[in-house]
Amino acid sequence: MNEFTSLRVTVEDEAGERGVARLPPPKDFQFIVKNLNCGNYKRAVQIAALSIAILLLMGAGDEARFNDLGHRMMCVCGCSQILLECNHVGCSYSDRMRGELMAALDRGDNDDLLLQGFVQKYGTTVIAAPTTKGFNRIAWIMPFLALALGLVTVVFVVRAWKNRPTPALADGIQPLRGPELEQFRERAQKETEL
């Protein structure tokens, strides 16, 4: 019996002396040991691949959050650009704000807390888009409402122009329509041919 297929048991007799006894393992134990020995290599490769993936992707969440939050805020230097896209040479605001953003992410602040901190420090103009809560919903609704009202106004104006009566000509002459108009067009065309 080798050590993988036998059980070692420490035994103590009545006199207090210890000894090691090797017992044959149960049949189920032999099956488990054989499967573990075959699968150890596969298991080690899986654990190594998982560990490498975890190490490589561990910082990806912070970088993605940094980009997301940086694109949701404006630079307060007056350039009216997104924080991460402020391209002023030596812009002290964007560098400082990026540092504060990274520090807040390193502390583990959640997104809402982080944005509220920036709003308290720099004012509501630091947020690139208004929130969808409270009175700020109007900022999201008004453009669509204005577009719909503009379309309705255009439809009414075009209908009014289309349905307005034709103006009366001087001396009570009525404008020509239909076959009479076509006769005059043909006559004008014949007279102007060379």
Instruction: Please check the confidence at residue 39 and state whether its pLDDT lies above 70.
Output: no
Between 7 and 20, name the one with better pLDDT.
Answer: 20
CA distance 106 to 62: 8
| Per-chain mean pLDDT for the chain | 78
Nearest to 66 by CA among 16, 104, 40: 104
Q: What is the pLDDT of residues 128-185, one digit of tens each?
A: 887 777 777 888 889 999 999 999 999 999 999 988 877 766 776 777 778 888 888 8
pLDDT band at 53 (very low <50, low <70, confident <90, very high): confident
Q: To which residue do tokens 């044959």 refer?
A: 24
- The CATH number that domain 60-134 falls under is 1.10.8.640
Instruction: Please check the confidence at residue 28 and state whether its pLDDT lies above 60.
Output: no
DSSP per position, the chain: --TTSSEEEEEE-TTS-EEEEEEPPPHHHHHHHHHHHHHHHHHHHHHHHHHHHHHHHTTHHHHHHHHHHHHSBB-TTSS--BGGG---TT-HHHHHHHHHHHHHHHHT--HHHHHHHHHHHH-GGGBSS--SSGGGHHHHHHHHHHHHHHHHHHHHHHHHHHHSPPPPPGGGPPPP-HHHHHHHHHHHHHHT--
Beta bridge partners of 20: 10
Between 91 and 24, name the one with better pLDDT.
Answer: 91
Domain boundaries, the chain: 19-57, 60-134, 135-160
Strand 18-23 to 7-12 pairing: antiparallel
CA distance 129 to 139: 9
Q: Is 16 left (phi over 0), alpha (psi -120 to 50) or beta?
A: left
Q: What is the pLDDT of residues 102-138, one digit of tens each?
A: 888 888 888 888 888 888 988 888 888 877 777 778 8
With contact defined as beta carbons under 8 Å apart, do 23 and 6 qualify?
Answer: yes
CA distance 110 to 97: 17
pLDDT band at 27 (very low <50, low <70, confident <90, very high): low
Most confident of 37-41, 48-52, 101-105, 133-137: 101-105
pLDDT band at 1 (very low <50, low <70, confident <90, very high): very low
pTM of the model: 0.43
